[in-house]
Amino acid sequence: MTLARLLPVTSFALLSYAAGLTAMSARAYLLATGIGMLPMTFVYVAFGHTITLSPLWMALFSAALVTLLFVLPRWIERRNVFGLKKYFPHLVSGGRRQDI
């Protein structure tokens, strides 16, 4: 499990499901996963430490991102950008369900 966690091309979800099908104990799974994830954790922390932004810019960016995550799905739904309404006939315009 430790070696599999070190490989960047393996899916964590598939590895977790596969480990659940084996006789591996929860303690061994947690230990192997923790050790296997440590190297990339150090890389991410070191990379993040090199990026410095002022608190004002970080707050503005965070607010814009949260706003985008709330507004974008509604915009896609209302404009039918990807033509998804044909796959969801139970929805009417405005996002309300029809009473059957």
pLDDT band at 62 (very low <50, low <70, confident <90, very high): very high
Tens digit of each residue's pLDDT (9 = 90 or more) over 77-100: 888 878 777 887 776 555 555 554
Please choose, from the candidates 97, 88, 91, 93, the residue with its C-alpha nearest in 3D space to the C-alpha of residue 78: 93
**Where along the chain do its domains lie?**
2-50, 53-100
pTM: 0.49
Match 């709330």 to its residue by tokens.
Answer: 70
CB contact at 8 A, 26 and 8: no
